[in-house]
Chains A and B, each alone.
Chain A
């Protein structure tokens, strides 16, 4: 029986286990939305901006481990997806984006709402397709899901001209994908794994440096086992948070620019750096010539292009983190805790994360209270900026996929739509978004679908009425010349939440924090937004200035001139 290309698309998505699509229709997407109208199994959430659709699909993918799917129409719909696609590409998140396109006969003729989206997204997708025939739909969708979810995951875009959606085709489901040019290496080389085990047994000061690859390959259990068997401390990247419970004695929290001082000291002094599913980002390494200079490097990654990209590697192992770690566990010798572990424990004691206790409302305190009130079980979604770093420091993740944030691209506005995606993926869990007042205004319109779908997400705005991270840099490195960072002209967020049909609250004093959080937890049928008016000029410390070495790390706020005179 013949069906339309649009119907073939919807069937293909269902065949690959898609439960929900985030999107917005438009002229050339009407045939596809018409096919969706008849589909009982595939849900759709109508977002208010396509960037929100892409971020929601990504939040869904991160929270569930499945492929996130989003729809957008041609032209502006497709270009609005671009930030979300780039974000998924930088953070290696599996996503399939379907865009409508003008008819094949109009391609390249500057038709109404035409944009060359396959050309535009070439450098920010793992792969993309421009469909020419409805007969290709089942194969291309099967390949798109396969490419997005295997190897190093990433976004795949499929552009479908309207006449392809409308034309008739025989539907033959494609389950198995065979591509001669795409065969990721998943098994680590046995000899290299034995070499790594030997290096571990010889090392005096080893450190595990763990990134998002451990989360995406579901290798958290193997990582914890390795750390416990060998007594090697673990530091994670922003995307690696939750790979080991951050309450575990071997956890050092996050490393890098705003990482813990003890994690950074450990990396600076280690003689063996075991990098797993991490890519030596500049926010992790700082000045590359001064990063872990005493260390031999083992690098485990599924992407061969990451090996040796920024640092020289002594023992490269290309493979899936989970498989490599389980093989490594078979051959690695147990190690006892040594002087090195004692040294790290001492650094932990000497340089704990801290914040002032002077009666002002501090964001770190709020984040700790959110963690306590939810027994550390809530999924934490962030935007980008100071609040994101405070969350990374003070929200102790207990399990993988608990911390959902925009890492590589650093996309302000990521939080709210990603929280929506996470809540859809994990309806039983509490989803707490930690937001900034700058970030949330970039995608605030997504409160509408959150209210429409009665999602009980909690939004905690760390409101300092500044673009806080830029202000911090201007304060520390640009002689306090605060240029265009003041956000005092802003809406009343409580009223704004209420206008959308959500619950709004405002907190100005530390003693009101816990009560407000508890109250938000009582709301189960709509979003709750809490506007926390925090100390305006609180900074994120520790901080290693961009491109500098650990020697330049500011563990605490530098003293002002008057403080130094007084001392």
Chain B
């Protein structure tokens, strides 16, 4: 789901892929904003051999509380155990596994791409279609800011690849449940 419809897409928090029981999960944790919390959380994944695919952490409306959005793939039963163990950490206030729930999710990326004079118009058109923005410009490059679902960012990245991506940074996914539930 790309382009103009991207503002109203519905993303479900699970993508079935690879091995049978392996799913991608988006987990949100509200944690005390204190030193060492990230290490405690990461440790629970590491000791079970899970790679964290993306992680976004920042404070919330309450400065004493941070919100972590963790994307991880793995066996559902093991992930359920990790979620329970996360809940047990003293510094963790609340954990939500968005698996199977309707959520809005977004990621922001900055992409520095080669922009030779002959390609500039084409690139600007892509930027327009993706409702992205050019936030910096030099003689030979654009820096593009794009916001959207992980798939949308992936799509723009692959379309820009032929021009030559110099540098790319992604924030990692953040997510929220749809509607008034939290």
Contacts and interface: CB of A to CB of B under 8 A. Distances in A.
Contacts of B81: 305, 309
A168 B32 CA distance: 27
B87 A179 contact: no
Contacts of B47: 123
Interface residues of A, number: 17
A303 B88 contact: yes
A479 interface: no
B169 interface: no
Nearest to B92: A181
A179 B89 CA distance: 12
B131 interface: no
A181 B88 contact: no
Given A118-B36, A123-B43, A123-B47, A181 B91 contact: yes
A30 B155 CA distance: 62
Contacts of A127: 89-91
Interface string B8-52: 000000000000000000000001100110011001000100000
B165 interface: no
Contacts of B32: 181
A130 interface: yes
B90 A305 contact: no
A304 interface: yes
Sorting the interface of chain B by its residue count into under 10, 10 to 19, 20 to 34 or 35 or more gives 10 to 19
Nearest to B91: A181
B93 interface: yes
A147 B90 contact: yes
A112 interface: no
Contacts of A309: 81
B93 A180 contact: yes
A196 B89 CA distance: 29
A304 B36 CA distance: 24
B40 A305 contact: no
A308 B92 CA distance: 21
A181 B93 contact: yes
A179 B90 contact: yes
Interface string A158-184: 000000000000000000000111100
A491 interface: no
A122 interface: yes
Nearest to B82: A305
B44 to A, nearest CB: 8
B84 interface: yes
Contacts of A182: 90
A305 B36 contact: no
A126 B32 CA distance: 16
A309 B83 CA distance: 12
A359 interface: no
Contacts of A122: 36, 39-40, 43
B64 to A, nearest CB: 9
A118 B90 CA distance: 14
Contacts of A130: 35-36
Report the 10 A-B pairs with minimum CB-CB distance, sorted nearest first. A305-B84, A127-B90, A181-B93, A182-B90, A305-B85, A122-B43, A305-B88, A123-B43, A304-B84, A122-B40
Interface of B: 31-32, 35-36, 39-40, 43, 47, 80-81, 84-85, 87-93
Interface of A: 118-119, 122-123, 126-127, 130, 147, 179-182, 303-305, 308-309
21 contacts: A118-B36, A122-B39, A122-B43, A123-B47, A126-B90, A127-B89, A127-B91, A130-B36, A147-B90, A179-B90, A180-B93, A181-B32, A181-B90, A181-B92, A181-B93, A182-B90, A304-B87, A305-B81, A305-B85, A305-B87, A305-B88
